[in-house]
Amino acid sequence: MRKRLTALILCFVFIFTGILGVNGSVFAAEKGETAPAANPEYTQLEMPVIAIKTISGAAISSDETYVSAQITTINTEGGYEFKDTSVAVKLRGNSSMYSDKKSYKLKFEEKKKLLSTGKGKGKTWCLISNCYDGSLLRNLTAYRFGDLLTNLSYSPDCRSAELYVNGEYQGVYLLCEDVNVNKNRVAIEEEPDEVEKNGYLVEMSRYAEENKFDMDTATYEVKSDLSENQSIRKKQLAYISTCIKKAYDALKKGNEKEVRKYVDVDSLVDIYIGNEIFKNVDAGWDSLYMYKAVDGKLCFGPLWDFDLAMGNANCVKGIDSWAGFNPYHVLNLNANSNPWFCRALSQKWFRELVKKRWNKLQDKINSLPKIVIKEAEANIKAYSRNFEKWDVLGRQVYIEPVQITRLTTYKGHYTYLANWLSKRIKWLTKYYNGKDFPNGIFVNEEGNKLNAHYNLLEMSPVLALANSSQDMTYTMSPNTGISMSIKNAGTESWSTQIVASGFMLEAGAEYILSFDYRCSPEHPVSFSIQQNYSPWSQYFTDTLKMNDTLLHYEVTLKAPADDINSALAFSLGGSTFNGNDISIDNMSLVKKP
């Protein structure tokens, strides 16, 4: 599949711009009415309508600063729920921040319930754009499934709605409860000046910035309120990090009785099943939530952020397939790996719990494809109108695989998702009840066993990176590789790159690096194994004299240091690369036995 790369890339993600837009007109009824108003302001189809108007009339452009606004919500009967109610709005998200279709976070002065969503009121709400999901249903499906996982105490309630910002139609959004401490959401104690008598909501996330701590191969951020007193805050971080470390260390040792002293194991089973069934590519990178109530065990949940799951990513070999285990849940060899799942699945007692729980949930699990079809077809006009605004069907938007980018209709997208889930459920049901899973044998989409000497680059996101001013197309290889045609490579050596990222290096261990390469016309290409974070220190470098003959490279190297987030980077920037076609294929980095 040929893909157009024209936008800024941060943290080895790439964003496509140029999404088209058209204006829409809309109507609403007066409060309590079900008929359109005489002077229509909003055109309503099957869904509720949310309209936001900033007080200044300016665009919402920051993910740090809230903008004062007014919000109007119209229910499915056409009646006003809120009209011109004060609200603060800002942008939200990580990679989705660089999409034209923005996501938003709402904050009210007082707790409110929106459009009959949620068990109770809350101050903060999310409007998720689902800009990289052609079905617009992956997050909704995951959160609805979370409701069925009864060992998770909370799953965000959500519903789709059509959004208008400053009078302009923005498409279909997912109105969703925010993940925060609230008696109706994550119901734990809020005593921000206490240490042991305070509840803690924690996210395992590589994006962590504040109130964070590192443990083993992961980074954690406390998301609940902490004390303004720095001395108390320091004690709070030490306390919760110690609690999580005790839980994780017990899981590493593997004794079930000891693990149960610190961990709500039933919630760990459910959160694993939720991530495995959807083959979530982000479960180890971001958005793994856990919490601890006063005098309580470490609990996991809720499920969060699944727009790149369910076959909607092509950056990792096999992650788009309904077959095979997610390698990030089995092998703790990449920054995207989930260490909790990897440790837990290595224990037979945990695998037995997974099998038992899966079979108990079987009827609910089997309902997932029906959830997709029912939601899509009940609101087909509204969902379809989204793509009149955002003309993205049949195009590459982010990191979708070719089988998704070729889908040119909305029906094609939601049908694909339902079929993918149906096949995934059948595959996992058969494997969980087979002879290999109880014995700790995990396979990839091709049926090959996943083990500690697995090719690290098969587990690495392989991406084409470029600044917004650069111009190129690329083709993914099924053999862990990529081909790139460069028109404008920029001015710096790092302006354009091919990167395989996130793999972990073990100090003193020997690795065999190999790949096939070609470049036309002839050009020297430098590459390195380096840190995948600032200051990007290099561990190994070499330069290849590439030409239009396909050649093979292989070298044995020794890792100088432990690094839980490394990258193989080919530097293709600078004007001398303009007009070059480059191919890197059959990429492999394997630890020597």
Other C-beta atoms lying within 10 Å of the C-beta of residue 281: 24
Strand ranges across the sheet with 538-546 = 462-466, 496-505, 563-571, 523-531, 538-546
Cα separation of 76 and 177, whole Å? 19
Collapse the DSSP code of 181 into the 3-class scheme (helix H, G, I; strand E, B; otherwise coil) and give the result: strand
Cα separation of 400 and 149, whole Å? 28
pLDDT tens digits along 98-141: 789 999 999 999 999 999 999 899 999 999 999 999 999 999 99
* pLDDT score recorded for residue 470: 67
* pLDDT score recorded for residue 453: 86
Complete DSSP assignment for 44-78: --SS-EEEEEESS------SSS-EEEEEEEE-TTS
> Checking DSSP bridges between strand 298-300 and strand 218-222, what pairing results, if any?
unpaired
pLDDT tens digits along 49-71: 999 999 999 999 999 999 999 99
Residue of 164, 227, 209, 583 whose CA lies nearest to 389: 164
Contacts with 62 (C-beta within 8 Å, 6 or more apart), sequence order: 90, 91
Contact predicate 149/155, CB 8 Å: yes
Contacts with 54 (C-beta within 8 Å, 6 or more apart), sequence order: 60, 67, 68, 69, 89, 165, 166
Contact predicate 152/420, CB 8 Å: no
Cα separation of 566 and 562, whole Å? 10
Other C-beta atoms lying within 10 Å of the C-beta of residue 4: 14
**Rg of the chain taking only CA atoms, in angstroms:** 24
> For 223-257, what is the HEC assignment?
CCCCCCCHHHHHHHHHHHHHHHHHHHHHHHHCCHH
Other C-beta atoms lying within 10 Å of the C-beta of residue 592: 10
Q: How confident is the model at residue 4 (pLDDT cuts 50, 70, 90)?
A: very low
Residue of 394, 454, 367 whose CA lies nearest to 145: 367
**pTM for this prediction:** 0.91
> Checking DSSP bridges between strand 168-177 and strand 103-112, what pairing results, if any?
unpaired
pLDDT tens digits along 230-283: 999 999 999 999 999 999 999 999 999 999 999 999 999 999 999 999 999 998
Contact predicate 161/106, CB 8 Å: no
Name the token pair of 326: 């997610």
Residue of 97, 100, 72 whose CA lies nearest to 84: 72
Burial class (CB in 10 A: 0-12, 13-18, 19+), 25: exposed
* pLDDT score recorded for residue 40: 55
Element (H, E) at 28: none
Does the pLDDT value for residue 14 go beyond 60? no
Q: How confident is the model at residue 504 (pLDDT cuts 50, 70, 90)?
A: very high
pLDDT tens digits along 478-488: 899 999 999 99
Name the token pair of 414: 């939601």
Collapse the DSSP code of 525 into the 3-class scheme (helix H, G, I; strand E, B; otherwise coil) and give the result: strand
Complete DSSP assignment for 476-508: EETTTEEEEEEEE--SSTTSEEEEEEEEEE-TT
* pLDDT score recorded for residue 32: 33
Give exposure, 542-561, as e/b (b: 16+ Cβ within 10 Å): eebebeeeeeeeeeebebee
CATH number of this structure's domain 456-591, picked from the four choices 2.40.50.140, 3.40.50.2300, 3.40.50.720, 2.60.120.260: 2.60.120.260
Other C-beta atoms lying within 10 Å of the C-beta of residue 151: 18
pLDDT tens digits along 158-210: 999 999 999 999 999 999 999 999 999 999 999 999 999 999 999 999 988 89
Round to the nearest angstrom and report the end-to-end CA distance of the chain: 36
Lowest mean pLDDT among 141-145, 272-276, 571-575: 571-575
> Checking DSSP bridges between strand 3-5 and strand 49-54, what pairing results, if any?
unpaired
Strand ranges across the sheet with 3-5 = 3-5, 471-477, 481-488, 581-591, 510-520, 551-558
Other C-beta atoms lying within 10 Å of the C-beta of residue 84: 12
116 φψ region: left (φ > 0), alpha (ψ -120 to 50), beta (else)? left
pLDDT tens digits along 24-41: 333 333 333 333 333 257
- Mean pLDDT of the chain, nearest integer: 91
Strand ranges across the sheet with 298-300 = 212-215, 218-222, 200-204, 288-292, 298-300
Name the token pair of 158: 């959500």
Residue boundaries of the structural domains of the chain: 17-177, 456-591
* pLDDT score recorded for residue 22: 29
Element (H, E) at 113: none
